Structure 1
């Protein structure tokens, strides 16, 4: 029910034209208002706080849809922020709220958060600083674009006077949640990418038949489909469990596996689209650019694979298969 409702809103309010307009600096206020008015930002909030009180698994299809539509506002981050703030005594402020999984304090007391998702747009940021949770006003931060063409990522720097006291000590949970969100976004975007690539290969005719009928193209599509399916399973794992926040290991597996699929999936999509694949007019680049940014957000697959590897070594004498079963069963 919730997924169908959000799909309808996104189909109407988050068209490729809207995504391009936001990238070019136009205000996303109408899109954000549509999401805020629908109540979807409160999906993980408790019923006592006016939310839906959904489980993580119920929210996952919605986060997947955000990726399929290349949503250019931090709706997923705002949903997660409300879950992270539960029990802190602090309510999420109105407006676009994003997550910064790691920040550092400079020698002069200022705070720097690098490559923050939607850092160019967000009005507030929930930040992990060495395990502490801070809520900061982005209007007081210096913003520097931290990506390529059309990026909405930014490095944010707050002066010492604008850095408040910590409001909770679950900062590391914020990073796990942020990584899981990126995994869901990548899985959704890759679903869209595969569907459009398959559609193009069935429509594009060369030498008298659709290129999708050629064995070499079918082979590339099958490998692409395998990667997309594996990424979806891994991302879904991050949102299993009864807790309101993803656990570290499932989130690490989800982020690592989806990130690993990005180079092959994006490259195959561009290759099979041929010369039109590199054009700005084709919607393909709206997704492949984001996929590469999401792959690096909160750490690439190398960072998260190391966390999984260290946990595997610490679980001795369990073998790899027993370790995987333990993680999936606990999730």
Structure 2
């Protein structure tokens, strides 16, 4: 389904301001949007570990819609007994000045906003969305001076950002896997001095490290989604910090191997490397999550191995 509706040409069309309605209709008809909604509310009641596989596929294809965000929002709304709107829903954590960058804000119909421990579902237009100025970026800068309190409900104990973080880690893992494949294919096709550049030992080393980073991001995202919904703070911090660190190196390696052609608008490489950088920063960079994880570790009186076992591999 994703191969059909999210081919690179379709992704570019949405980034340039084209309608995503047909693409969204296919996603909605698939039933995946209610995968995390409890069975008692009409959903599939699937665990995060299953959603992780789908989220990675979204990253592998640079799907230009907040599919994972909508899955999370619908699950939280259903659990709170709130009505679930049609259309794509983005996630946002309001800053102190109520101004924040909302991933996929340009194509969302609604935004689930966390503010002072409460969740508010608002129309995307209410945030006066503005483009970030980055070419092709589907994020939007939004601001809410006041949020409606009538239908607000409690945010998860670990906050909305922890859920968004494990989603970003999965998206990074999927895009990273795609970039490894693209880079290896290009290195085997590009002929220089009479042989494929992939036969050069220096490039082989670069691609080997790139593949290691992609595997690290994948394992970290699986750890982040391996527990309950919502994830623990330690699981979210581990997933996002490891995936975020890998994202920067993978993007740099992909461009190093591709050379000048990789930065051209016509080449598909930039569809994925741009997203790696955006997802790395969204919902907390690795430094933000490393600080959160460090505080958790320092607050524990157990050894590091026991801490990791308890926090990342709960019974």
What TM-score, normalized to structure 1? 0.91
| Partner Cα separation in structure 1 for residue 99 and residue 221 of structure 2 | 25
| Equivalent of 2:119 in 125, 133, 141 | 133
State yes or no: 1:270 paired with 2:262. no
What is the aligned length? 314
Partner of 2:208: 222
State yes or no: 1:324 paired with 2:315. no
Residues 83-138 of structure 1: CA distance to partner in whole angstroms, max 9, x if unpaired?
222331202211111111x20465xxxxx341111111111111110211111111
Tell me if the contact between 1:136 and 1:164 (Cα under 8 Å) persists in the aligned partners.
no
Instruction: Give the deviation of 1:155 after TM superposition.
Output: 1.4
| Partner Cα separation in structure 2 for residue 287 and residue 105 of structure 1 | 31
Instruction: Give the deviation of 1:78 after TM superposition.
Output: 0.3
Instruction: Give the deviation of 1:330 after TM superposition.
Output: 1.4
State yes or no: 1:146 paired with 2:132. yes
- Segments of 5+ residues of structure 2 without an aligned counterpart are none
Tell me if the contact between 1:173 and 1:246 (Cα under 8 Å) persists in the aligned partners.
no
Local SS of the residue matching 1:127: strand
| Partner Cα separation in structure 2 for residue 37 and residue 113 of structure 1 | 33
Instruction: Give the deviation of 1:147 after TM superposition.
Output: 5.1
Instruction: Give the deviation of 1:175 after TM superposition.
Output: 1.2
- Segments of 5+ residues of structure 1 without an aligned counterpart are 1-8, 107-111
Tell me if the contact between 2:87 and 2:109 (Cα under 8 Å) persists in the aligned partners.
yes
Local SS of the residue matching 2:159: helix
| Equivalent of 2:47 in 27, 42, 55 | 55
| Equivalent of 2:19 in 24, 27, 32 | 27
State yes or no: 1:178 paired with 2:153. no
Tell me if the contact between 1:83 and 1:244 (Cα under 8 Å) persists in the aligned partners.
no
Partner of 2:29: 37
Local SS of the residue matching 1:232: helix
- Structure 2 CA distance for partners of 1:166 and 1:312, relative to 1, 3 Å: farther
Partner of 2:90: 98
Partner of 2:7: 15
Tell me if the contact between 2:37 and 2:75 (Cα under 8 Å) persists in the aligned partners.
yes
State yes or no: 1:77 paired with 2:73. no
State yes or no: 1:285 paired with 2:270. yes
Local SS of the residue matching 1:85: helix
| Partner Cα separation in structure 2 for residue 119 and residue 163 of structure 1 | 19
Deviates more, 1:134-143 or 1:181-190: 134-143
| Partner Cα separation in structure 1 for residue 16 and residue 149 of structure 2 | 32
Deviates more, 1:120-129 or 1:82-91: 82-91
Instruction: Give the deviation of 1:45 after TM superposition.
Output: 0.9
| Partner Cα separation in structure 1 for residue 172 and residue 281 of structure 2 | 11
| Partner Cα separation in structure 2 for residue 280 and residue 125 of structure 1 | 30
| Partner Cα separation in structure 2 for residue 66 and residue 151 of structure 1 | 16
| Partner Cα separation in structure 2 for residue 21 and residue 251 of structure 1 | 33
Instruction: Give the deviation of 1:235 after TM superposition.
Output: 0.7
Residues 173-210 of structure 1: CA distance to partner in whole angstroms, max 9, x if unpaired?
31110111111111111110111001111111222221
What TM-score, normalized to structure 2? 0.95
Q: Output aligned runs, 1:228-267, within 5 Å.
A: 228-241=214-227, 243-267=228-252
Instruction: Give the deviation of 1:54 after TM superposition.
Output: 0.7
| Partner Cα separation in structure 2 for residue 321 and residue 222 of structure 1 | 28
| Partner Cα separation in structure 1 for residue 149 and residue 133 of structure 2 | 28
Partner of 1:169: 154
Partner of 1:300: 285
Tell me if the contact between 2:56 and 2:170 (Cα under 8 Å) persists in the aligned partners.
yes
